[in-house]
């Protein structure tokens, strides 16, 4: 076997091995999207009820709660960026990080300092490589987040928000969240939303039709709001994390599908090249044999 | 006479269906809800929520804090975790 042919065969073997891996990852992600989507759906009733309640209170009561009233002179804003722990998902994490950079730029234009809170190893590595300060980071659960994870994150954000930004360097006046919205299997968008102070009317989750109920509050609106808002933030963070997880799987499936397709292409063109090389070798051998026979024939003819 | 009840936690819908009575413990004390209750939003403390279904069954849930909302003959109980 010729050297050329051997090299082609070796490359084909390696591409085939890679294809097997990407194909497997594609199938795994495809099955996990469905599960992740179900988790998003399962968490919807809870967050919908909370949103309705918060909207009702904000609409019908005149309670002045620090969590609903914007600071007059904001100094600092927290940005929570949700990314993946692992790569192999195309531009998924990069898109979220880029969206976060854009948001930070906008906030700086308004004269605010930004504080970063990160979820996912990809964002952590990005910030560490650039030596940027990070207020807090969480890793290890990006593809399968639990409510406890969301609670932990929401708690630390709430603490920063409750701390007075004027006197405390850890305090923030606004909290923004950057995550990847799961629209469909094919489309996922990185989006930035303000969580606090409340923007009760959300575009993505329209409040169910009909008037908001005129609740009577037990014991009173202030106490209810105090208890409700932390849960509301937790539910928002949890929902964002679940959507991001579904998006991560969808992005990975798409990236792995195109990797598999590319491997197929590569194998096809390598097969063609290997066939040509083999044919060239055979042709050369034949012409060598014919040439050799000719030479022998003419040599023996000359001796007679 | 019955009304719709939903008991939901962040990760799932725990119970949903028609019920005759719901009782729960709020910060102010025990609360029983029958059909036609006024619109109410209450804060629940750790304790037991009892749902008496229309089929005569009674189900108890141990919840760790939460909220109860009553509006238009529909009761939703939100809780962080159910045992």
Which value, in Å, is the radius of gyration of the alpha carbons in chain B?
A: 11
CA A236 to chain centre: 17
Residue A144 has pLDDT above 60, yes or no: yes
Tell me which chain B residues have a C-beta less than 8 angstroms from the C-beta of A214.
Answer: 39
pLDDT tens per residue across span A22-32? 999 999 999 99
Inter-chain residue contact B43 with A45, CB threshold 8 Å: no
Q: By C-alpha distance, which of A187, A204, A196, A251 is closest to A58?
A: A196
* Higher-pLDDT residue of A234, A64: A234
Domains A3-24+258-295 and A30-253 share a fold: no
**Is residue B21 less than 8 Å (CB to CB) from chain A?**
no
As its CATH architecture, domain A3-24+258-295 has Orthogonal Bundle (1.10)
Residue A207 has pLDDT above 60, yes or no: no
pLDDT tens per residue across span A36-53? 999 999 888 888 888 878
What structural domains does chain B harbor?
Answer: 3-79 (2.60.15.10)
Q: What pairs with residue B17 in β-bridges?
A: B5
Of B39, B78, B80, the CB nearest to A213: B39
**Is residue B17 less than 8 Å (CB to CB) from chain A?**
no
Domain boundaries, given as residue ranges, for chain A? 3-24+258-295, 30-253
A148 C-beta neighbours (distance < 10 Å), count: 14
| Residues B18, B51: Cα–Cα separation, whole Å | 9
What homologous superfamily is domain A30-253 in, according to CATH? ATP synthase, F1 complex, gamma subunit (3.40.1380.10)
């Amino acid at each position: 076997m010729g050297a050329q042919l051997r090299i082609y065969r070796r490359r084909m073997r390696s591409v085939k091995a890679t294809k097997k891996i990407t194909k497997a990852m594609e199938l795994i992600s495809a099955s996990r999207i469905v599960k992740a989507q179900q988790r998003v759906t399962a968490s919807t009733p809870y967050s919908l009820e909370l949103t309705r309640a918060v909207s009702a209170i904000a609409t019908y009561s005149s309670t002045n709660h620090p969590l609903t009233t914007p600071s007059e002179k904001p100094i600092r804003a927290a940005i929570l960026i949700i990314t993946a722990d692992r790569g192999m998902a195309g531009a998924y994490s990069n898109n979220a990080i880029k969206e976060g950079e854009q948001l930070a730029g906008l906030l700086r234009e308004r004269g605010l300092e930004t504080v970063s809170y990160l979820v996912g190893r990809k964002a952590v590595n990005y910030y560490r490589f650039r030596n940027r300060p990070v207020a807090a980071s969480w890793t290890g659960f990006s593809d399968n987040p639990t409510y406890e994870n969301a609670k932990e994150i929401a708690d630390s954000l709430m603490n920063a928000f409750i701390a007075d930004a004027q006197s405390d360097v850890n305090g923030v006046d606004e909290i923004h969240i950057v995550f990847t919205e799961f629209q469909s299997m094919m489309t996922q968008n990185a989006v930035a939303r303000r969580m606090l102070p409340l923007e009760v009317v959300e575009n993505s989750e329209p409040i169910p039709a009909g008037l908001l109920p005129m609740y009577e509050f037990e014991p009173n609106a202030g106490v209810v709001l105090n208890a409700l808002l932390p849960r509301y933030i937790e539910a928002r963070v949890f929902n964002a994390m679940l959507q991001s997880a579904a998006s991560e799987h969808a992005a990975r499936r798409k990236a792995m599908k195109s990797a598999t397709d590319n491997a197929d292409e590569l194998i096809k063109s390598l097969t063609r090249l290997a066939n040509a090389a083999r044919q060239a070798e055979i042709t050369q051998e034949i012409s060598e044999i014919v040439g050799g026979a000719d030479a022998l024939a003419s040599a023996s003819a000359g001796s007679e | 006479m019955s009304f719709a009840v939903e008991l939901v936690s962040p990760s799932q819908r725990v119970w949903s269906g028609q019920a005759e009575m719901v009782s729960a413990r709020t910060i102010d004390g025990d609360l029983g809800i029958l059909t036609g209750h006024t619109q109410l939003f209450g804060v629940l403390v750790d304790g037991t929520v009892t749902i008496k279904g229309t089929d005569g069954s009674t189900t108890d849930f141990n919840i760790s804090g939460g909220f109860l909302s009553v509006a238009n003959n529909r009761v939703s109980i939100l809780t962080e975790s159910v045992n």
